[in-house]
Structure 1
Amino acid sequence: MTQRRPFFITFLAPAVLTAVILVAAMFEVLQYSVRAFIPGALDVGGFTLDNFTRINRPIYWWVMLDTFYISFLTAIFSLLLSYPVAFALVRARRDWVRSLLVSLSITPLFTGEIVRTFSWMLMLGSDGFINSMLRKLSLIDMPLQIMYTRFGVVVALVQFSMPVMIILLATAISHVDRDCEKAAANLGASPGAVFWHVTLPLTLPGILSGIVVVFAWTMSAFSTPQLIGGGKVLMIANLAYLQGFSVLNLPFAATLSLIALVSALGSLVLMKSATSRIEKRLAIA
C-alpha cells in the first residue's frame, strides 16, 4: 500500500520552486556585480570590486538620493491620501458606499502600468487636461511644466501606490477595537481626540507597513519615471537600464540592482523592528 503524500507538500512545491529560481537569479546578479566590464562586449572579465567603488561618483549618489527622496515622498503622500479613503471604507454604514469605495480603490490595479502612465502623460503634458483647464479658467497664460519633473513623477507614482496603501490601512483600521473608542468618548473625549489618541496609535503598525511597502515598491519603479521623467528624472532602475542596455555595462547594472535590492530589504527589516516595538508599547499601555 503506497503512502499518500501530505497535501501541503503539493501546495508548497510551487512556492519552493519560485524561491529557488529567485535565489538563483539573485546569485547571478551578485556574481555579475563583482565582474570586470569589457567595453564593446557582452562577455565579462574577472573578479573586481571596481563596480562598487564607482558608486562613489557624485552623479550616481544623486541618482540614489533622488530615488530615496521620490520613494519617500510617494509613501508619505500615498499615506495622507489613502488613510481617509481606508477609514471611510471600513467605517461606512451603507453597503453601496463600501462597494463603491472598494471598486474605486482596486480598479487601478486591473490596468497596466504603461496604460496608466500614458494616461498621466495626457493629463500632465503642456497641452494636457490640467493645463488646458487652467488656461480656460484664465488662471495661467503659459502652460505649467509638470512633465519631466520630480513632481510629475511623484504624482503618477502616488496614484499607482494608493490601492496597495488603502488595502493595508483598511486591514489595520478594521482590527481596531471599537470599544476603546467608545470608552474614550464616554470619558469626554471629542471625536478628534478619540481619533488622534486612540484610533491613530492603534493603526500605527498598518501605517508603517504601508509606508515601507510603498517605499520598497517605488524603489524599483521604472516605466513611470522613464516616461514621465523623460530622462530628466532618473531613479536606480532607470540608471541600471541605461548601463545594461545602452552602454552594455552589465556588471555595473548588476551592482545598481543589488544596491536597490539591499535597500528594499533593509527597509523591510526596519519595518519589522519598528512594528514590533510599537506593538509591545501598545500591549503595555
Structure 2
Amino acid sequence: MIQKRPFFITFLAPAVLTAVILAAAIFEVLQYSVREFVPGSLNVGGLTLENFARINRPIYWWVLADTFFISLLTAVFSLLASYPVAYALVRAKKDWVRSALVSLSITPLFTGEIVRTFSWMLTLGTDGFINSMLRKLGLIDMPIQLMYTRFGVVVALVQFSMPVMIILLATAIAHVDRDCERAAANLGASPSAVFWRVTLPLTLPGILSGIVVVFAWTMSAFSTPQLIGGGKILMISNLAYLQGFSVLNLPFAATLSLIALVCALGSLALMKTITGRIERRLAVN
C-alpha cells in the first residue's frame, strides 16, 4: 500500500525550494562583497574588507542619503495620494464605483515598469504633456525642467507604488469596526471628528505598514531613477549597476547591494516592532 504524502509537504516544498535559492543567491552576493577587485578582469581576488571601508566616502554617503530621502518622499506622497482612494474603495456604497476603483488601482500592476517609466518620460519631457499644456494655457514661456530631477523621479515612483499602498490601506480601513464610528457620531462627533479621532488612529498599523513597504520597495528601484533621472539622480541600485557593469567592480557592486538589502530588511523589522506597539496601545485604549 502506497502511503500518501502529508498535505503540508506538498505545499511547503515550493516555499522551501524558493527560500534555498534565495539564500544561495544572498550568500553569493555576500562572498563577492568580501573579495578583492581585480581591475580589468571579471575574476576576483582574496578576502578583504576594503569594499566596506570604501563606503566611508562623501560621494557614497551622498548616494545613500539621496536614496533614503527619495524613498521616504515616495512613501509619504504615496500615502497622501492613496488614502482617499482606499477609503472610497472600502466605503463606496455602489458596486460599480468599487469595481471602477479596484480596476483603476490595480491596473498599473499589469503594465511593466519600463512601459510606465517611458510614459512618464513623455509626460515630463521638455515637449511633454505637462509643459505643452502649461504653454497652451499661457502659464509659462519656457519649458519647466521636470526630467532629470528628484521631483520627476519621485512623481514616477509614487505612481508606481500607489497600487501596493492602496491595497494595504484598504485592508486596514476594511478592518475598522464601524460600531466605533457610530458610537462617536451618537456622542455628538462631527463626521470630520469621527475620521480624525476614530478612523484614522485605528488604521495606523496599515498606514505604517504601507509606508515601510513602499520605502523598502523604493530602496531597490532601478529603471525609474535610471531613465527619469538620466544619470543625474543616483540611487544605490543605479550606483551598484555602474560599479558592476561599467567599471566591472563586482565586489563593490555586491557590497552596495548587500547594504541596500540590510537597509530594506531593517526597515521591515522596524515596521514589525512599531506596528506591534501601536496595536497593543490601541487594544489597551
Match of 1:177 in 2: 177
- Counterpart of 1:50? 50
After TM superposition, list the pairs within 5 Å mapping 1:189-228 onto structure 2. 189-228=189-228
> Which whole-Å CA distance do the structure 1 matches of 2:203 and 2:61 have between them?
35
Partner residue in 1 for 2:15:
15
RMSD between aligned residues: 0.4
Per-residue CA distance 1:168-205 (angstroms, 9 max, x = gap) = 00000000000000000000111111111100010000
The structural deviation recorded for 1:35 is 0.4
Code of the residue aligned with 1:23 in structure 2: it is A
Match of 1:152 in 2: 152
The 3-state SS of whatever aligns with 1:46 is: strand
1:244-283 matches, cutoff 5 A = 244-283=244-283
Alignment of 1:6 with 2:28, yes or no, is: no
Question: Which one-letter code corresponds to 2:261 in the other structure?
Answer: L
| 1:222 partner letter | F
1:129 & 1:282 partners in 2: Cα distance?
A: 46
CA distance in 1 between counterparts of 2:113 and 2:30 reads: 28
Q: Tell whether 2:76 aligns with 1:76.
A: yes
1:49-82, Cα deviation, whole Å (9 max, x unpaired): 0000100110000000000000000000000000
* Long gaps (5+) in structure 2: none
Rounded Cα–Cα distance in structure 2 between residues aligned with 1:272 and 1:90 = 25
Q: 1:12-161 alignment to 2 at 5 Å?
A: 12-161=12-161
Task: Give CA deviations for 1:239-258 in whole Å, capped at 9, x if unaligned.
Answer: 00000000000000000000
Q: State the 1:121 CA deviation.
A: 0.1
Query: Residues of 2 paired with 1:120 and 1:8: CA distance?
Result: 45
Q: TM-score, normalised by structure 2?
A: 1.00
- Distance in 1 between the 2:7 and 2:143 partners? 62
Amino acid at match of 2:29: V
User: Which amino acid in 2 is paired with 1:66?
Assistant: D
SS at 2:108 equivalent: helix
Deviations 1:214-269 (A, max 9, x none): 00000000000000000000000000000000000000000000000000000000
TM-score calculated relative to the size of structure 1: 1.00
Shift of 1:2: 2.3
**Dislocated runs of 4+, deviation >2 Å:** none
| Letter of the 1:106 counterpart | I
Q: Provide the C-alpha distance between the structure 1 equivalents of 2:150 and 2:61, rounded to a whole number of angstroms.
A: 17
Determine the C-alpha separation between the residues in 2 that align with 1:56 and 1:114. 33
Note the C-alpha offset of 1:12.
Answer: 1.0
Please name the residue that 2:232 is paired with: 232
Matched letter for residue 26 of structure 1? I
Return the alpha-carbon distance in structure 2 between the equivalents of residues 193 and 241 of structure 1. Answer: 49
CA distance in 2 between counterparts of 1:206 and 1:235 reads: 27
Q: Describe the superposition over 1:1-44 as per-residue Cα deviations: whole angstroms up to 9, x where unpaired.
A: 22210122111111110100000000000000000000000000
Secondary structure of 1:109's match? helix
